Chains A and B, each alone.
Chain A
């Protein structure tokens, strides 16, 4: 008979083991989101240009990243980069860079759909007013594409948050790792994994509820 005992999870234990990992998980999510959206938007613009020397590398990059399991990218980047630059990068920094590069592929597909959802007439209107390509994109197309795609971008970010737990492969200290170590030290692995699961669920689920609300509001504004 399995008996659960959560008494060991005192505030001291939580702040000692969990908070540090939680902060890193959030950091990783936020940086990879911002970096991924910026890089992804650039990739989307490249793919939507009319120049083959921009389209091909961007398409190749996105398709490659989307065809490889994330955990392998995490591992390979962690193992290969030190060989290239001649010194270890550290699990946390390595994770941040990997996630940004990996998520950019997914965000770029979302931004590509968003840009394509804006009518060509809007682009023509920008050009007709004398705007450059950069101004037309930056002032007219991208803000609208971004607004239309905000719910999808945030949904992808929720997936990203869940996926950050994969950094266990390279031993980075994230939320899950915090629970794992606490579980080991107090010999309560079942309890700690259970609490971790509930925590991931609560955060992800409340965020998706938030996205749903946002979706309704955007639908009304439009």
Chain B
């Protein structure tokens, strides 16, 4: 059974169709990179996986559980699916430690001590242990995003979704975040990553999904994708982002 299975997912905003018959899957332990021009629907697609965005047709199964089924307990499903956002979305009114422990306590029912200990362990892992008592506003963008990854990991997710995790970062901070993600991928975490960072895709992705105008245009093994993309649109896209 694949960890994430998407079957003919379509979505409309009123009359406007944002996703058209999207079908793909992510096996356990697999890392797939979703890329494509802006407005192609990649962020919308990844937000459909944990039901942050609703879709009107098709279905998505996460670990066998249907996201589209209205009887599914979405909060319970989301608690097992880690998500990292473009703009970090740490909670600015809480300290880093509280950011890391709040959902463990309130959603998973862990004790405060247990949650704090787990949070600090993950904070150490992303190299930010000394920042525990600070508020998110006192950290750089790269540091905030590493905390956000640690926060998602604190829930012991079965897979991780990344929605353009480095797009809002200054160039010199991108690598510190990518390093954490590469490490995670190498440890065997199942990951679906929307990104333009082709270096990351080269290094750890198993497959690359290319989207354009709400459709999955290409879905291929990494080497095949970078070697000889079949569609003209993907060729154009690659030549644009690789040649500068």
A binding-site residues for B, Cβ under 8 Å: 119, 121-122, 124-125, 127-132, 135, 139-140, 143-144, 147, 222
Whether B92 contacts A128 by the Cβ 8 Å rule is: no
Are B85 and A121 in contact, with the CB atoms below 8 A? yes
B7 at the interface (CB under 8 A from A): no
- CB contacts (< 8 Å) of B50 on chain A: these are 128
Closest-CB distance, B114 to chain A (whole angstroms): 17
- Please judge, given known A-B contacts A124-B52, A124-B85, A222-B137, whether A129 and B93 are in contact too, CB under 8 Å: no
Which residues of chain A are near B52, meaning CB under 8 Å?
124, 127-128
Shortest distance from the beta carbon of A54 to any chain B beta carbon, whole Å:
19
A155 to chain B, nearest CB (A): 21
Give chain B nearest CB distance to A81 CB in angstroms: 40
Q: Are B91 and A125 in contact (CB under 8 A)?
A: yes
Query: Can you name 20 A-B pairs with beta carbons within 8 Å?
Result: A119-B87, A121-B87, A122-B89, A122-B91, A124-B85, A125-B89, A125-B90, A127-B75, A128-B52, A128-B78, A128-B85, A129-B79, A130-B76, A130-B103, A130-B108, A130-B155, A131-B107, A139-B106, A144-B92, A222-B92
Cβ-defined contact, B75 with A131, below 8 A:
yes
Contact (Cβ within 8 A) A144 B93: yes
* B89 contact from A121, A135, A143, Cβ within 8 A: A121
Most chain A beta carbons < 10 A, residue from B74, B79, B82, B91: B91
Expressed in whole angstroms, the minimum distance between the Cβ of B163 and any Cβ of chain A is 9
Q: How far is the CA of A119 from the CA of B89 in the complex (A)?
A: 9
Q: Does B151 contact A (CB under 8 A)?
A: yes
Q: Which residues of A contact B79 (CB under 8 A)?
A: 129-130
Q: Which residues of A contact B211 (CB under 8 A)?
A: none
Question: A139 touching B89 by the CB < 8 A rule?
Answer: no
Cα A216 to Cα B92 with chains together (Å) = 18
In the complex, how many angstroms separate the beta carbon of B94 from the nearest chain A beta carbon? 9
| A144: min CB distance to chain B, Å | 5
Interface: B102 (CB within 8 A): yes
Nearest chain A CB to B88's CB is how many angstroms away? 9
Given the complex, which residues of B lie within 8 Å of A147, measured CB to CB?
Answer: 93
Q: Taking the complex as formed, is B123 at the interface, i.e. its CB lies under 8 A from any CB of chain A? A: no
Give the distance in Å from the alpha carbon of A129 to the alpha carbon of B100 in the complex. 11
How far does the Cβ of A50 sit from chain B's closest Cβ, in whole Å? 12
Q: Which chain A residues lie closer than 8 Å to B83 at the CB level?
A: 125, 128
> With A and B bound together, what is the CA distance between A161 and B185 in angstroms?
60
For B106, the chain A residues whose CB sits under 8 A away are 131, 135, 139
Distance between Cα atoms of A132 and B78 in the complex (Å): 10
Cα distance A124–B87 in the bound complex, in angstroms: 11
A131-B103 contact given A121-B85, A121-B87, A124-B52, CB 8 Å threshold: yes
CB distance from B160 to the nearest CB of A (A): 11
Kindly state the separation between the CA atoms of A124 and B85 in the bound complex, as whole angstroms: 9
Q: B85 to A129, Cβ gap below 8 A? A: no
The chain B residue sitting closest to A129, CB to CB, is B103
**Which 4 pairs from chain A and chain B are nearest by CB?**
A130-B79, A125-B89, A129-B103, A128-B83
Question: A125-B91, A131-B107, A222-B137 in contact; A139/B102 too (CB < 8 A)?
Answer: yes
